[in-house]
Amino acid sequence: MLLFTIWIFVTMILSVQSSSLVSGERSRQTLDVLLVTPLSGREIILEKVQGLRRLIWVISACFVTAYLFEVWWNGSVGHNSWFGYSRTRYLVGSVLSLLVYLPLVIWLSMWIGLKTKSQTRAILLSLATIAAWCLIPFGVFILFAELTGSEYTPILFLAPFAMIVVNELNDFPKYSNAMGTQAILEWVVVFVNYAWYGGWVLVFRGLSLRYADRYLGRRDEQWETRFPPQSTTSPYSENILAASSSQ
């Protein structure tokens, strides 16, 4: 339960920090000063996120320590096998949650902050989006379970943090038995879930970096360098203008 609470606070901290990186500059009216630097929009965004990456490393170190301690503490109960309760699967799922979900929170909130002018609105919209993305699938799962009497539905794994709950509570065997499949599908669920949300990390990161100049409100500085404006005046017109001026 404590680990779930820590995840909630970490998610809120990263979301607030990420959504405020650019929207905070707009609110303080210091974004124009930043835009006159000889950096492209992509480079500005990457420099902004660089500070959060160091924060992620510190947070990840604390989480990994807690995960290793839990594996050591429950070593007499768990069995390091590919079926049943697997310490290997627990560690793999826990580490992947850090590698995928933390960047997902950062880049989603960054993208929302880039598109929002107000810092307060960016923070609230980021938190609301993450909360809705996590809670709506759980609500659909409960409704599906009430209507069908089934304890399993793939809709549950549409929630970004469902894997954290399932991994910590060791609910894989129950879902696997309800599906009538072998426990090896637990590994399939793990990798499919993290591959799916890893793809969303790339999507939000790509949108933030590709359209960085547009979101920041600056024109592409490299456009005129690569494609300099050409004169529409023909050589004949230039000769006529020169002759007329000499007269």
Cα separation, 238 vs 138, in Å, equals 72
pLDDT reading at 226 higher than 70: no
Distance CA 214, CA 207 (A): 11
Query: Highest mean pLDDT: which of 19-23, 180-184, 230-234?
Result: 19-23
Distance of alpha carbon 161 from alpha carbon 143, whole angstroms? 19
Query: Per the structure block, which two tokens stand in for 216?
Result: 């920041």
Residue 85 pLDDT greater than 70, yes or no: no
3-class DSSP state of 199: helix
Assess contact for 6 and 189: CB atoms under 8 A.
no
Please check the confidence at residue 203 and state whether its pLDDT lies above 50. Answer: yes
CA dist., res. 88 & res. 81, Å (int): 7
pLDDT at 32: 83
Q: If you count DSSP H runs as helices and E runs as strands, how many of each does the chain have, helices first?
A: 11, 0
In this predicted structure, what is the pLDDT of residue 219? 62
Task: Give the other-Cβ count within 10 Å of 128's Cβ.
Answer: 11
| pLDDT for the residue 240 | 41
Q: Cβ atoms within 10 A of the Cβ of 94, count?
A: 21
Q: Residue 231: what residue type?
A: S
The percent of residues above 70 in pLDDT, for the chain, comes to 72
Is the predicted pLDDT of residue 53 greater than 60, yes or no? yes
Which tens digit of pLDDT belongs to each residue from 107-119? 999 999 999 988 9
**Mean pLDDT across the chain:** 77
